[in-house]
Chain A
Amino acid sequence: MAGETGRSVTPGENVKIQIKDVKKEYHGDHGTTVALNGVNLDIMENEFICVVGPSGCGKSTLLNVLAGLHEASSGDCYLDGERIVGTDVKRGVVFQQYALFPWQTVIQNVMFGPQMRRLPKAECEAIARKYIKMVGLEDFENSYPKELSGGMKQRVAIARAYANNPEVLLMDEPFGALDAQTRAQLQTELLKTWEEERKTCFFITHDVDEAVLLAQRVVIMSARPGRIKRIVDIDIPYPRDQGTKSQPRFMELKAEIWNEVYQEYLEVRK
C-alpha cells in the first residue's frame, strides 16, 4: 500500500457511514441549545476520518449520535444504508476517560463484548488474549485497571473495542488525557493497526497535529451551532509515523487547518 495517497474519495467507492442533515438540540433549564445543525457527511469504507473543532462544537455529540447513544432531533445516520437506531456491536466506541470496568481485570474487560454476544467462554478468552497481545499487554492480563497507567488503560479500552470486531471504530478524543510521549506512541500503534486492517475510523480530537498525522480527511467543525465548516484532504501517503510530522506537506496542512480551527476558537470566545 506504500505510495498510495491519503485521498480516499473516488467514484465507485463504498459509502460506509452516511450522515444526513443531522440536527441535535438539548432542552435545558436555560432554554434550547442547538448542538448540531445541518450536518452532512459521507464516510467511505476503510476511511480514517478525524474531526477537529473548538470545545462545544458538537463533535462529541456527533459521535454519540453515530454510536446510537444519543438520538438526533432530526435527520438520520446510516451504516451500510441501514438507519442507525440504538447501539450495535458493529459500531465500537473508545472513550476519552477509558471507561474500563474497575472491578474487572484486563482480560475480563476485553472479554466483555464477546460475552455479551454469548460466545462460549473459551472463545471469549481466546479473542481477548489475541487483542491484549495486539496492544502488548500480555503480562497484565490479570491486573486491575487501578494498577495500570493511563496509556495502558487506553490500550485495554482499544483492545476491548476491537474484541467485538466492529465494522467501524468511533473514537472520542481517546488520547486527550495522555502525556505527549504516550500519546505519540499510541498514535503510532493505531496508525500501524489501521494500515494493516483499514477499519473505518471516526476519530475526534482537538489536537490538529494528531488529526493530520492520522487522517485521510480532516473535518473542521464550527461552533454554535455545530456544523461542518470545511473538509481537508490529507494527501500524505501511508505508511506514516512520527517522522511524518517533519515533512513540509504535513506542516503546510497543519498550519492551514490550525488557522481555521483558531478562527473558530476566537468566534466562540466572542
Chain B
Amino acid sequence: MSRKHRRDLTHAEKMAVASNWMWLAVSLAVALLVWFGLSKGQKTGRSFPFIYAVADGMKTMIERDALWSDFASSMISVAMGFGLGFVTALPMAFLMAWYAPVRRIIEPWINFIRNIPALAYAPLIVIMLGVGRAPSVVLIWICTFMTMCITIFHGIRNIDNTLVKAARVLGANDMDIFFRITLPATVPFILTAVRLGLSAGLTTLLAAESTGAQAGLGMRIRTLQTTFETNAMLGYIILIGIIGTLLNTLVDFIERRLTSWQEKREEA
C-alpha cells in the first residue's frame, strides 16, 4: 500500500531529517560521556568499564568461541518462542473478541500471570520439560503470547463499528467483513503487538536461560556474573539492547509500509 510515486523531500523535511540525526548524535555523545564518568568512578568503575575494555572483553568471548553460539542460540529461542506466541495469540485474540465466554475465562488469567515475573516460574518449566532449549522456548512463548494476545484483543474491540456497518450496507457478508474490514483495521494493533512481543521475548531471555541452558546471551551473562568478568558482561548487556533496537527499527519500517494510510499522530 505504499504510495505510487515517491516525491522529493521538501526543504523542511530535509531539515527535520538532519535534526533527527543531530539529536541522535548528541544523545550518543551524552551517553558516552556518562559512561566514561562511571568508568572513572571509584565504586562504579568495576561495574561500568569503558568502551575499549568492553571491546576487549567481547574479543575474549570471540576467542573462546562463545559469542557467536550464544547469539545464535538466543536468537533461535526468541524466534521460536515469539513465532509460537504470535501464531497462538492472533487466533486467541479473535476468539476472545468474538466469543464472550472465551474472553471471560481467559482474560483474567492472562492478566494474573502477566504480573508474575517469568523468573519466578522458570524452574517449574525446567522441572517439567528438562534442560535444553525446550524450556527456554516455552517460557518466551508464554510471555510473548500474553502480551500480544491482550494487545491484539483490545485492538479488535476498538475497531470503528461504523466501518462494519458501512461494509454491510454495501453488500459485504461475514467473510468479506473479516478479510476486508476486521483484518486490515487490526493490522496497526498487530504491529504494536509484534513490537511489544519482541521486547517481551528479549526481556524474558535471562529468565528463559536461567536454568540448564548450554549457550545463550542470558545464560552467559549469569555465568560471567559468577566470575566477575564485567567487561564481557556489559558487552553482552549492550548487545541485547542493540538487538532490541534493531528489531524495533525493523517493525517501524514494516509499519510505515503497511499502515501509511493511518491519520498521522501529531508529534508533541
A residues engaging B (CB < 8 A)?
A: 67-69, 87-89, 91-93, 95, 97, 99-104, 112-113, 116-117, 142, 144-146, 160, 164
Q: Given contact pairs A104-B261, A113-B171, enumerate 14 new A-B contacts (beta carbons under 8 Å).
A: A67-B169, A69-B165, A69-B168, A87-B169, A87-B171, A93-B165, A95-B162, A99-B160, A99-B162, A101-B184, A103-B1, A112-B167, A116-B172, A146-B262
Q: A92-B169, A117-B171, A164-B171 are in contact. Are A146 and B176 (CB under 8 A)?
A: no
B170 close to A (CB within 8 Å)? yes
B181 close to A (CB within 8 Å)? yes
Q: A103 and B184: CB pair below 8 A?
A: yes
**With a CB–CB cut-off of 8 A, which chain A residues contact B167?**
101, 112, 116
Q: B171 and A146: CB pair below 8 A?
A: no
Q: A89 and B166: CB pair below 8 A?
A: no
**With a CB–CB cut-off of 8 A, which chain A residues contact B185?**
103
Tell which of B165, B173, B262 has the most Cβ of chain A within 10 Å: B165
**With a CB–CB cut-off of 8 A, which chain B residues contact A164?**
170-171
Give the CA-CA distance A67 to B185 in the complex, in Å.
Answer: 23
Give the CA-CA distance A242 to B259 in the complex, in Å.
Answer: 41
Q: A103 and B170: CB pair below 8 A?
A: no
| Complex: chain B residue closest to A102, CB-CB | B261
Q: A91 and B184: CB pair below 8 A?
A: no
B6 close to A (CB within 8 Å)? no
Q: Which of B170, B172, B187 contacts A160 (CB 8 A)?
A: B170
Q: Which of A95, A103, A116 contacts B261 (CB 8 A)?
A: A103
Q: B261 and A144: CB pair below 8 A?
A: yes
Q: B4 and A142: CB pair below 8 A?
A: yes
Q: A95 and B165: CB pair below 8 A?
A: yes
| Complex: chain B residue closest to A95, CB-CB | B162
**With a CB–CB cut-off of 8 A, which chain B residues contact A92?**
169-170
Q: B261 and A99: CB pair below 8 A?
A: no
The contact sample of 9 A-B pairs, CB cut-off 8 A, is A67-B165, A69-B169, A100-B166, A101-B184, A102-B262, A113-B170, A117-B171, A144-B261, A146-B262
B263 close to A (CB within 8 Å)? yes
B residues engaging A (CB < 8 A)?
A: 1, 4, 160, 162-163, 165-173, 176, 180-181, 184-185, 187, 259-264
Give the CA-CA distance A229 to B168 in the complex, in Å.
Answer: 31
Give the CA-CA distance A186 to B268 in the complex, in Å.
Answer: 35
Q: A146 and B170: CB pair below 8 A?
A: no
| Complex: chain B residue closest to A70, CB-CB | B165
Give the CA-CA distance A99 to B163 in the complex, in Å.
Answer: 5
Q: B262 and A91: CB pair below 8 A?
A: no
Q: A146 and B261: CB pair below 8 A?
A: yes
**With a CB–CB cut-off of 8 A, which chain B residues contact A145?**
261
Q: B168 and A95: CB pair below 8 A?
A: no
**With a CB–CB cut-off of 8 A, which chain B residues contact A144?**
260-261
Q: A146 and B263: CB pair below 8 A?
A: yes
Give the CA-CA distance A101 to B166 in the complex, in Å.
Answer: 9
Q: B165 and A116: CB pair below 8 A?
A: no
Q: Which 10 pairs across A and B sit closest by C-beta, in order of nearness? A: A116-B171, A99-B166, A113-B170, A93-B169, A99-B162, A89-B171, A103-B261, A103-B184, A87-B168, A144-B261
| Complex: chain A residue closest to B181, CB-CB | A101
Q: B170 and A116: CB pair below 8 A?
A: yes
**With a CB–CB cut-off of 8 A, which chain A residues contact B260?**
144
From residue A18, how far is it (CB to closest CB) to chain B in Å?
20
| Complex: chain B residue closest to A166, CB-CB | B169
**With a CB–CB cut-off of 8 A, which chain B residues contact A69?**
165, 168-169
**With a CB–CB cut-off of 8 A, which chain A residues contact B262?**
102, 146
| Complex: chain A residue closest to B171, CB-CB | A116
Give the CA-CA distance A222 to B172 in the complex, in Å.
Answer: 34
**With a CB–CB cut-off of 8 A, which chain B residues contact A93?**
165-166, 169
Give the CA-CA distance A93 to B160 in the complex, in Å.
Answer: 16
Give the CA-CA distance A162 to B172 in the complex, in Å.
Answer: 16
Give the CA-CA distance A89 to B170 in the complex, in Å.
Answer: 6
| Complex: chain A residue closest to B188, CB-CB | A103
| Complex: chain B residue closest to A67, CB-CB | B169
From residue B193, how far is it (CB to closest CB) to chain A in Å?
18
From residue B122, how far is it (CB to closest CB) to chain A in Å?
41
From residue A85, how far is it (CB to closest CB) to chain B in Å?
13
Give the CA-CA distance A102 to B162 in the complex, in Å.
Answer: 12
| Complex: chain B residue closest to A157, CB-CB | B166
From residue A211, how far is it (CB to closest CB) to chain B in Å?
23
From residue B162, how far is it (CB to closest CB) to chain A in Å?
4
